[in-house]
Structure 1
Amino acid sequence: MSKKRALKLEVPTLEDVDFVAANIRESDRQDMEGLHSGKSVREIIMGDVVYSKLVYGLYRNGSVQGIFGVIPLLSNVGTPWVVGSVAVDENPLPFARASRGLLDMLQRSFPLLDTWVCSRNSKSVLWHEWCGFEFEKEKVRLGRDEYFHAVRRVGKSKMEVS
């Protein structure tokens, strides 16, 4: 991958959060609105930032593409989250290529990643599958939508299984 296309990790600024909130991809907006009725996208992102142990921005060509982190549940269990700007949908390949490694990095602190994936959000479902999350078959209503419970364990990514 050329350096021009590679994603870089940096600590995001408040301006980066504002940019992603103002330019959030539609699928992420719908997920947030379904879970957090009445809150702004920025409020939701900042809530995740505040509760997270690790938070990073994803940058391509000097521009923030998304923000991600992990919220501790237990000492070895965390809930990962990611929000992308419309730029991720416009050019998803660099993000997809980097995703497994980013999750592997989070799993150095949290060997078990535990999350809920909106069943309506096909992009999120596919991304979680690509990254090696295992899904429970049953859906659970959370807020407005139905969600799958999904986990990713150390050593269980699709890259290692395939």
Structure 2
Amino acid sequence: MADVTIRPATLEDAADLADRLRAADRAEVWASHRVTPIQALETSVRLSCGDAWAGLADGVLVCLWGVVPLSLVSRIGSPWLLASDDLERHQVPFLRRCRGMVDQMQAPYRLLTNHVDARNRLSIRWLRWLGFEIDPAAPWGPDGLPFHRFERRAP
């Protein structure tokens, strides 16, 4: 079992992960916003306002995630996660910790919501496991490809 470390994410982490981003995440960031992996990672880390984390397995960066505040007044946040293929090899130790991390992300927000590419089946399964409700796929993004809106409300 890998030694898993979770720490605050940095822009250097974004640069480290960009070239190793899994194919499904590359396709998703392009289909959703027409951005490259480095643009998606740097923007996500910056907009998360300190609420972004890096996941390492045996000292190797395997994923970045966080939550971007969409509305502080109505307490809505947009969660995100981008990863390398290495995450799948180390999914068990990360799964053991991620529900608690999502609860921590949710704390300041009454609603967490975003969109996931309908082709990204692994992410959709993970989101369901974390307790997110997944809407039916609908056209979204510049090309109107099918994406699922997902959300998780605070208890």
Asked if Structure 1 and Structure 2 have the same fold, meaning a TM-score greater than 0.5 normalized by the shorter chain, the answer is: yes
1:114–1:150 CA contact under 8 A, matched in 2: yes
1:135–1:149 CA contact under 8 A, matched in 2: yes
Structure 2 runs not aligned, ≥5 long: none
Residue 158 of structure 1 is matched in structure 2 by: none
The answer to whether structure 1 residue 23 and structure 2 residue 20 are counterparts is yes
Q: Distance in 1 between matches of 2:146 and 2:84?
A: 24
Q: Taking every aligned residue pair, what percent have the same amino acid on both sides?
A: 26
Residue 7 of structure 2 is matched in structure 1 by: 10
2:79–2:114 CA contact under 8 A, matched in 1: yes
For residues 20-78 of structure 1, the C-alpha deviation after alignment (integer angstroms, 9 at most, x for no partner) is: 111111111110121232x3210111111121131111122222111111111112110
The answer to whether structure 1 residue 71 and structure 2 residue 64 are counterparts is no
1:7–1:98 CA contact under 8 A, matched in 2: no
Residue 82 of structure 2 is matched in structure 1 by: 83
Residue 48 of structure 2 is matched in structure 1 by: 52
Structure 1 runs not aligned, ≥5 long: 156-162
Q: What's the TM-score once normalised by structure 1's chain length?
A: 0.84
Residue 109 of structure 1 is matched in structure 2 by: 108
Q: Distance in 2 between matches of 1:13 and 1:107?
A: 21
For residues 92-146 of structure 1, the C-alpha deviation after alignment (integer angstroms, 9 at most, x for no partner) is: 2222222211111101122311111111110111111111101223523323321
Pairwise CA RMSD of aligned residues? Answer: 1.7
- Summarize the Cα distance change of 1:99–1:44 in structure 2 as closer, same or farther, 3 Å threshold: same
**Alpha-carbon deviation of 1:8?**
2.1
**Alpha-carbon deviation of 1:6?**
4.6
Q: Distance in 1 between matches of 2:100 and 2:29?
A: 25
Q: What's the TM-score once normalised by structure 2's chain length?
A: 0.87
Number of residue pairs aligned between Structure 1 and Structure 2? 151
Greater Cα offset, 135-144 or 21-30: 135-144
